[in-house]
Amino acid sequence: MIEYNNRHWHKHIFVWKGSVIQGVWLRVTLYVIWTAVITFLYQEAILPAEVKVDMVVFNVIGLALGLLLVFRTNTSYDRWWEGRKLLGSNVNASRNIAFTLNTLIPNDDEETRKDITELITSFHYAVKERLRDGVKPEHLPMLKEEYKNIVFKSGHVPNAVMKLIRSKIETVRLKNLDRVPEFRSIYEEISNMVNNMGGMERIRFTPVPFAYASHLQLFVMIYFLALPFGLNDKFGWIAIPVMGFLTLILLGINEIGVEIEDPFGDDPNDLPVDQICKNINASITEILL
């Protein structure tokens, strides 16, 4: 994720990294070339002036297209923002568990404190990688080999790590049978972490319906292929830069929706999942160790 200062707006205008231009420049170029060809045919009278489409048609269709694109972008942003809230909830849950366990585990029981710290951290890293290309042993360097041998036998590594976390906490509970409220709170936070993982999996593995995405792309393509037949009558050769401007705007809006639809990757506009995992590790390490 790219961090920036809204007050320095002038620094964000002409940028390449993180901008939608990377995703749309080729299509914009193709539509501009198509417009140049159609304009040339009109100017050389190869296409008669009578072959045109009234701009009223494009005005009406453009309004519908704009609404669809805005809806597409809003839907994607809702997914992005929900993902951020779920990640933030996991940060809070991890800290609350660490704070409570800090009062329950003796200070001299360094092994238990370290195990729980490493397991909670590993859980979040495992969730992160499951939301990407799958969890591999090298993604969990903080996890003991004996634990790796257990969790990577499972088809769902985060669940296997969570089982180890609950087992460790249960061991602590058996030594503190008189601290029922504290452990009730811990298990509630654990449930929150599992629920948040399910919410993130829902976002990651449930894309926008294919029919909707496909129809929108077809709609956009037909609109821009037909648009030069309406622009030429009023703009002539100027229709070429006009087409470039219009395609950059509308295709850019669509590309924003496409890019943030899956917010857990490592693209410039995705959520800072790697940094959040590091922050969780730093927080619970500071609390427990």
Show pLDDT as tens, one digit a residue, over the chain (289 residues). Answer: 666 556 666 566 667 677 788 889 999 999 999 999 999 999 888 888 777 888 888 888 888 888 888 888 999 999 999 999 999 999 999 999 999 999 999 999 999 999 999 999 999 999 999 999 999 999 999 999 999 999 999 999 999 999 999 999 999 999 999 999 999 999 999 999 999 999 999 999 998 888 888 888 899 999 999 999 999 888 999 999 999 999 999 999 999 998 899 999 988 889 999 999 999 999 999 999 9
Q: Angle 228-235/21-43 helices, nearest 10 degrees? A: 60
HSE-up (13 A, CA, CB side) for residue 115: 19
Q: Could you tell me the CA-to-CA distances from 181 to 113, 176, 184, 251, 254 in Å, in that order?
A: 20, 11, 5, 54, 50
Task: List the one residue out of 200, 256, 203 whose CA is nearest residue 71.
Answer: 256
Rounded Cα–Cα distance for residues 109 and 132 (Å): 36
69, 250 Cβ separation under 8 angstroms = yes
Rounded Cα–Cα distance for residues 272 and 3 (Å): 10
Task: List the one residue out of 182, 272, 244 whose CA is nearest residue 28.
Answer: 244
Task: List the one residue out of 259, 1, 257, 265 whose CA is nearest residue 131.
Answer: 265
For the chain, which residues make up each domain, given as ranges? Answer: 18-80+210-257, 84-206+273-288
Task: Tell me the whole-structure pTM to 2 decimals.
Answer: 0.89
Determine how many CB atoms are found less than 10 A away from the CB of residue 40.
13
